[in-house]
Structure 1
Amino acid sequence: MSNVDVIVIGLGAMGVAACHHLAARGHRVLGIEQHNLAHDRGSSHGETRLIRKAYFENPDYVPLLCRAFDLWEALQAECGETLFERNGLVTFGRPGESQVYEGTLASGRLYSIPVEQLGRDEALRRWPIYRPPEGFAAAYEPGAGFLYAEKCVLAHARQARARGATLKENEPVVDFRIENGRAQVRTTQGRYSAARLIVAGGGWSARLLADLGLPLELRKMTLGWFPAGPEHAAARGTPGFVFDLDEDFYYGFPQIDGESVKTAGHRRFEALEKPEDKDLAPSPERMAALGRFVRDCLPFASDRLLRWSNCIYTMTPDEDFVIDRHPETPELVFAAGFSGHGFKFASVVGEILADLAIDGATRHPIGFLSASRFRSS
């Protein structure tokens, strides 16, 4: 039986970042992943993820984002590979009505984040590749950008291994328990023991953390890649985009492959019974809506779908994350319910999980992410 300081179950974006931080502090770390690293079975794939500070969802996230930016920059410098492109982000919405647009501006004001306001005509002149509806305005965050998703996961893994962490791939966990103040983990290939256990199970979190009864629901979100001209190229400094339309919230990225842009709708989910069903084909209606968005709002792109991929959203009722210690066995720390907007936080979530596992507390303001908000009084 292997004996280490910390075992991490789940090596998606959050878990592998925790391994990196723990190993960097000199702890003996064992990470266990049921698939290969940077796999496409969960929520940490799909080439790119937006990253921004002016957070319309909840300004309480902004201090975490500021730290996440610093940590992504540090990881990029450490590994000598481009992980993060600061191409900016332009958000289109109807002033006075769009929570996305108004929330972006409000977070920018609250935390002195540079955000430019542009009227529709000015935005059209500046970015003719985007065509917002009449009556819309734009909020542009020049310091925002996008992360290369799989590269980020693999960079954290490489740096963790370089500092002595053991990361096991293609080794499903059978069960685990806390016994006499220690974590005991059984997999298909062995048994392991540690002083602390971190569970970062993504779409498998409800199954792994069943005793907590967390209100986690799975949704399937479909990404589409559509032909686009060189005007969309990231190399030209093209920003990512958000359109808060009446029927959906659409977001997307500049072209990084020389032929296409990736886009998705954030609000219209399809139910997912279990993570293993992720790759069931999306509904024709869903793909038709995505094509209409491209046709209406991206005039330099084609609505001819080149390819699609599904991503798992593990949703909480309030769409905020859950990061906490188990109320009865504090040796167990967990992170779950990232609700489709978590990847950009992975660098700081890894740091937080390491803090909670080793120190039992963190300096980061995560009180609003406690699991206690779901427990009945």
Structure 2
Amino acid sequence: MSNVFDVIVIGLGAMGASACHHLSARGHRVLGIEQHRLAHDRGSSHGETRLIRKAYFENPSYVPLLARAFDLWEALQAECGETLFERNGLVTFGRPGESRVYEGTLASGRLYAIPTERLDRDEALRRWPIYRPPEGFAAAYEPGAGFLYAEKCVLAHARQARARGAVLKENEPVLDFRVERGRAHVRTTQGVYSAARLIVAGGGWSARLLSELGLPLGLRKMTLGWFPAGQEHAAAKGTPGFVFDLDEDFYYGFPQIDGESVKTAGHRRFEPLEKPEGKDQPPAPERIGALRRFVRDCLPCASDRLLRWSNCIYTMTPDEDFIIDRGPATPELIFAAGFSGHGFKFASVVGEILADLAVDGATRQPIGFLSALRFGSS
């Protein structure tokens, strides 16, 4: 019986580790399987920090999920006694009347009564001289936003799951799985396991793991850059994260947490990625050049000298919304994919949703718009 569980979770990145946490908290016998070590840098859940915000320009349907995610992050932080979440605020720069990012942030704030503040360019420059938006831009400021410590969040979920009896296996690749006669059977390089329910949260490997479902999941490579910056940017001083919706790209970044640098990235321009194993090929020179130009133009207290870079796998659906659903012919299979670009902040609530689907077959959270049915699948 040592290889028999209530629920098996494949993939222990942000979503899978959270699912293990929620399942184990409900008293279920859980097995989590990860092909690398926990909090590894091979996928999409690394890189030190992730922005978190409620005034969501992408789609206001996400805001109720964000409200729950904020509560769950706060609860996890209190439970583990470690700082996971910094509420430093977020300032979004865009051209009024033209920028979907800027206008959508303000619209979402109005719709859900999320505290947000509009500042013209001169007001923003006086408040945050470390940021230099182009002429004609304005700022939308969300004081309740902030950032999460990415690897710490993954490890916190994993530690709490283990403390409640979950079995989490690292460096154990999954070879295949099948669902038959109401049970899931998973074969790895180390053994065969079975469970009443199976959750697949495979990140960049999801298309491969879920190939029979034909989910439209494309892979991209996104490059993060760290650039020298002084104490004016320090998170400890309350410096907010930033978003610049420029004509050539959507740039975002974080206050300084390491005493020497700020992290920034461009969101819209990706490099193609055929398979997740190719993630660590050096970024194209034009990608680094674009980041350096952004730093020169918009971060006057930082240097454009690249200190280091890291690539992240983006796994994206055609509409850039997530997929959270159950197998069309096998309700014992629950899957979650396509989170890249804006998913990490939702990990706390996605784990709860996956636990709901596995245990109860449904969730109270409003996820209808994330069904795979919109692509003709599931």
Per the alignment, residue 147 of structure 1 pairs with: 148
Whole-angstrom CA distance in 2 between matches of 1:314 and 1:294: 26
**1:238-257 maps to which residues of 2 (within 5 A)?**
238-257=239-258
Structure 1 stretches lacking a partner, 5+ long: none
Change (3 A) 1:3 1:202: same
**Who is 2:178 aligned against?**
177
Q: Structure 2 vs 1, CA of residues 331 and 338 (structure 1 numbering), >3 Å: closer, same or farther? A: same
Q: RMSD over aligned Cα, in angstroms?
A: 0.8
Shift of 1:279: 0.3
Task: Give the 3-state SS of the residue equivalent to 2:103 in structure 1.
Answer: helix
Measure the CA separation in 1 of the matches of 2:328 and 2:131.
48
**Aligned residue type for 1:205:** S
2:233 aligned residue: 232
Q: Residue type of the partner of 2:281? A: L
Q: 5 Å matches for 1:223-372?
A: 223-372=224-373
The 2-side partners of 1:4 and 1:263 are apart by 42
Q: Supply the distance in 1 between the matched residues of 2:55 and 2:342 (Cα, whole angstroms).
A: 13
Give the counterpart letter for 2:176 in structure 1.
D
Quick one: distance in 2 between partners of 1:327 and 1:347?
A: 25
2:144 is paired with a residue whose SS is: coil
Is the CA contact 2:213–2:377 (under 8 Å) kept in the aligned structure 1? no
Query: 2:86 matched to which residue of 1?
Result: 85
Sequence identity of aligned pairs in percent?
Answer: 89
In the alignment, which residue of structure 1 is the partner of 2:208?
207
CA offset at residue 339 of structure 1? 2.9
SS in 1 for 2:349: helix
**Alignment deviations for residues 216-265 of structure 1 (CA, whole Å, 9 cap, x no partner):** 00000000000001000000000000000000000000000000000000
2:227 partner amino acid:
F
Matched, 1:128 2:101: no
**Number of residue-to-residue matches in the alignment:** 377
TM-fit CA distance, 1:302: 0.2
Runs of 4+ with >6 A deviation: none
Amino acid aligned to 2:45: S
The Cα offsets for residues 185-240 of structure 1, whole Å up to 9 and x where unpaired, read as 00000000000000000000000000110010000000000000100000000000
Distance 1:338 1:275 in 2: 15
User: After the TM superposition, which residues 22-101 of structure 1 pair with which residues of structure 2 at under 5 Å, given as runs?
Assistant: 22-101=23-102
Deviations 1:275-316 (A, max 9, x none): 000000000011000000000000000000000000000010
Spell out, residue by residue over 1:96-153, the C-alpha distance to the aligned partner (whole angstroms, 9 max, x if none).
0000000000100000000000000000000000000000000000000000000000
Aligned partners of 1:40 and 1:257: how far apart in 2?
Answer: 18
Letter aligned with residue 67 of structure 1: R
The residue identity in structure 2 corresponding to 1:86 is: R
Q: In the TM superposition, what is the alpha-carbon distance from 1:376 to its structure 2 partner?
A: 7.3
Query: Residues of 2 paired with 1:149 and 1:115: CA distance?
Result: 25
1:307-350 superposed Cα distances (whole Å, 9 cap, x missing partner): 00000000100000000001110000000011311000000000
Which residue identity is paired with 2:268?
Answer: R
Q: Is the 8 A contact 2:44 2:340 kept in 1?
A: no
Aligned ranges 1:217-228 → 2 under 5 Å: 217-228=218-229
TM-score by length of 2: 0.99
Match of 1:273, SS state, is coil
Distance 1:82 1:376, change over 3 A: closer
CA distance in 2, matches of 1:209, 1:340: 21
**Cα distance, 1:179 vs. partner?**
1.3
Please, what TM-score do these two structures have when normalized by structure 1? Answer: 0.99
